[in-house]
Amino acid sequence: MGAKKFKRQAQLFKMLANPVRLEILQNLSKRKVCVNSLSELVSRRQANISQHLSIMKNMGIIDSQRAGKKQCYFITNHEIKKLVEKIKS
């Protein structure tokens, strides 16, 4: 049981070690943001942003909600949100 927990934690830190993902999370810590807006905020192509969002969604850190034709993302893990806010300051 302990080994699984540590493996999950290591995967989480590996995911957070990516600067693009941290920048995405910093933007999501403020509010719900749609993919096209994130692409502009982070200065990356939408396809690249979508790949990072998919990884974070699979880890259970973020979730999405459809707003018309747009897909908007938000942080679901409150501990990650607190961590990102601490890193920001």
Is the pLDDT at 71 greater than 70? The verdict is yes
The pTM assigned to this predicted structure is 0.89
Label residue 43 left, alpha or beta by phi (over 0 means left) and psi (-120 to 50 means alpha): left
Domain with residue 15: its CATH number is 1.10.10.10
Q: Provide, for the chain, the percentages of residues in helix, strand and coil under a 3-state DSSP scheme, each rounded to the nearest 5.
A: 65, 15, 20
How many structural domains are present in the chain?
A: 1
Q: What is the pLDDT of residues 14-38, one digit of tens each?
A: 998 999 999 999 999 999 999 999 9
Domain that holds residue 8: 2-88
Joined together, the tokens standing for residue 40 give 């502009």
| CB of 71 closer than 8 Å to CB of 64 | yes
